[in-house]
Amino acid sequence: MAKITKDTIVGDILDLAPDAAPIFMSIGMHCLGCPASRGETVEQACAVHGIPYEAVLEKLNELVKD
Q: Is 2 part of a structural domain of the chain?
A: no
The residues near 14 (Cβ < 8 Å, ≥ 6 apart) are 20, 21, 24, 32, 38
Question: What per-residue confidence (pLDDT) applies to 1?
Answer: 60
Q: Is 25 part of a structural domain of the chain?
A: yes
Q: Is 54 part of a structural domain of the chain?
A: yes
Instruction: Kindly report the CATH number assigned to the domain that includes residue 27.
Output: 1.10.3910.10
Q: Is 3 part of a structural domain of the chain?
A: no
Q: Is 52 part of a structural domain of the chain?
A: yes
Domain range for 49: 10-64
The CA-based diameter of the chain, rounded to the nearest angstrom, is 29
The structural domain count of the chain equals 1
Q: Is 37 part of a structural domain of the chain?
A: yes
| Tally of CB atoms within 10 A around 57 | 19
Q: Is 4 part of a structural domain of the chain?
A: no
In tens, the pLDDT along 3-57 reads 899 999 999 999 989 999 999 998 888 878 777 778 899 999 999 889 999 999 9
Question: What per-residue confidence (pLDDT) applies to 66?
Answer: 67
Question: What per-residue confidence (pLDDT) applies to 28?
Answer: 84
Question: What per-residue confidence (pLDDT) applies to 47?
Answer: 92
